[in-house]
Amino acid sequence: MTTKRDDIMTSIAREVLDIPTLDTRRSDSLDFHDIAVWRVKEALERAFEAGQRDTGPRRFECPACGRTIDIKTIK
């Protein structure tokens, strides 16, 4: 069973890195890839952005006053 995270990583691998699967296939020609650094950078940027979208406001209780505080991400 795949998770949402697995689906996102596989999608990025396919779209940006031209890697069809992240499953180990036990073959050097299928498991090792030459990838330009700018493509790795783009893949990392997409992964970061996906994480930012998936992270909603976080709620904390202020230890001093007991009020609930929402911490939101800045874009």
Domain ranges of the chain: 4-71
Output b/e per residue, 34-70; b: 16+ Cβ within 10 A.
eeeeeeeeebeebbeebeeeeeeeeeeeeeeeeeeee
Calpha distance 50→52 (Å, rounded): 5
Distances, alpha carbon 20 to alpha carbons 16, 30, 33, 71, in Å: 10, 9, 11, 37
pLDDT in tens, 54-66: 766 677 888 888 8
58 touches 28 (CB < 8 A): no
pLDDT in tens, 20-69: 999 999 999 999 999 999 999 999 999 999 887 876 667 788 888 888 88
